[in-house]
Structure 1
Amino acid sequence: MAQAKPTSESRPRGRPPVRSDDETKRIVIEAARHAFAVDGYAATSTEELARGAGISTKTLYRLFPGKAALFEAMCADRLDRLLSDVNLQANNQADIETSLAAVLAACADLALDPEVVALQRMVLQQSATFPDLAANFYRDGIARTAAALAGWLRDQVRKKRIALDNVDEAAGMMIGMMVSAPQRAAIYASLALPSRKEIERRAKVCAAILLDGCRGPSGS
């Protein structure tokens, strides 16, 4: 008797395909992002993180040496995604004020992202108990944003569109002027983060002040 042919409904035999470490890491990072946001760093256990990702704690520790390493990887992953979406390329057809305003707005999109601000709030709350959290967040977030802006400024200096002696220092000052006040308002006063339209308006004001100053004609 002829053997029946398998139909499209037939289930494949054997073990299910093995998930790669990279894919598992992404799943763990997403689970950690949710757990840290809801429960905070201190209250989240590695067992909960493993369970949320559907893996064993042994696998979790093989991929990430500990909770601190996982938090660092989560911050770096989020910043990598945001930085990849931030366009800091100068438009040579636009005047320098327009270009600078666009770049400052792009940096603000990163620094004022709701999830980034929520992470910063959590880091501030728990940095006394876990000091490495603050250092890692600064290195993977704040410093990288400033470095990206400094690279753009350096390119403008080379093209003689602006003149700066210390682009790294200037980048830090510009980011502080652009995002510090809205960040503090959101973190300490629970005020709403600025809308995209408000960010663009603020960027134009900051660019004008940075390039032209604000001293009046009667100023000494």
Structure 2
Amino acid sequence: MRSDEETKQIVFDAARRAFAVDGYAATSTEELARRAGISTKTLYRLFPGKAALFEALCVDRLERLLSAVDLQTNDEVDIETGLRAALLACADLALDPDVVALQRMVLQESAAFPELAANFYKNGISRTVTTLAGWLRVQVKRKRLAIDDVEEAAGILIGMIASAPQRAAIYGGVPLPSRKDIERRARICAVLFLDGCRAAPK
């Protein structure tokens, strides 16, 4: 006998594949139950509907990713190294293949199902911003950074590190960047954020 938690993970795996291939609207609860190898009665006992399943799927995936995020706040690490590490952690979240696949599906289905976009934003995008803002707040408190609005700064930084690769993957069919490419991008973003790029006056 499987526990409910084990069964939920099987359903999540089946739903991720089904939503990515067929889309949210075209995937029925009966098809999800069949793919997961359970009855529709069991599926409805675990999730009251498809929207609740999608929200739980997003929460589960992002919880797993966020639990692996360790934004270093050690004073022994210089601010540029610490910021690069924080940006890499956020990029790992934003550019995770499963997260990008979910985002692609949300964009395709959001006109008909606006609650999908709202749930994805609440459980994904805004939580990533909050996580980075918390790290920035610690750096401000320790007087290593001077920022008036840490939430706004966190949004700007996540846009710098992840938005262009996300758009290229979702709209242009471009492969997600390699780890080496993400590390290079994190270095550039950290320098731009900390030092700017205005040329020094002659």
- TM-score of the pair, normalised by structure 1: 0.88
Number of the residue aligned with 1:112: 95
Q: Which of 118, 126, 132 in structure 2 is aligned with 1:143?
A: 126
21-30 or 145-154: bigger deviation: 21-30
Number of the residue aligned with 2:172: 189
Number of the residue aligned with 2:144: 161
* 2:89 counterpart letter in structure 1: A
Contiguous gaps of at least 5 residues in structure 2? none
Q: Which of 53, 75, 82 in structure 2 is aligned with 1:92?
A: 75
Deviation at 1:94, TM superposition (A): 2.0
Number of the residue aligned with 1:217: 200
By percentage of residues, which structure has more helix? 2
Number of the residue aligned with 1:201: 184
Deviation at 1:185, TM superposition (A): 0.9
Q: Classify the secondary structure of the residue corresponding to 1:193.
A: coil
Number of the residue aligned with 1:75: 58
Deviation at 1:84, TM superposition (A): 1.3
* 1:29 counterpart letter in structure 2: F
Answer yes or no: is 1:36 the counterpart of 2:36. Answer: no
Number of the residue aligned with 1:171: 154
CA distance in 2 between partners of 1:198 and 1:87 (Å): 21
- TM-score of the pair, normalised by structure 2: 0.96
CA distance in 1 between partners of 2:3 and 2:82 (Å): 42
CA distance in 2 between partners of 1:19 and 1:125 (Å): 34
Q: Classify the secondary structure of the residue corresponding to 1:215.
A: coil
Number of the residue aligned with 1:10: none
Deviation at 1:91, TM superposition (A): 3.5
Number of the residue aligned with 1:123: 106
CA distance in 2 between partners of 1:28 and 1:118 (Å): 17
Q: Classify the secondary structure of the residue corresponding to 2:76.
A: coil
CA distance in 2 between partners of 1:174 and 1:30 (Å): 31
Number of the residue aligned with 1:9: none
Contiguous gaps of at least 5 residues in structure 1? 1-17
* 1:41 counterpart letter in structure 2: Y
Deviation at 1:182, TM superposition (A): 0.9
CA distance in 1 between partners of 2:4 and 2:96 (Å): 28
Deviation at 1:151, TM superposition (A): 0.7
CA distance in 2 between partners of 1:212 and 1:40 (Å): 43
Deviation at 1:194, TM superposition (A): 1.0
Are 2:129 and 2:154, in contact at CA under 8 Å, matched by a contact in 1? yes
Deviation at 1:92, TM superposition (A): 2.3
18-27 or 132-141: bigger deviation: 18-27
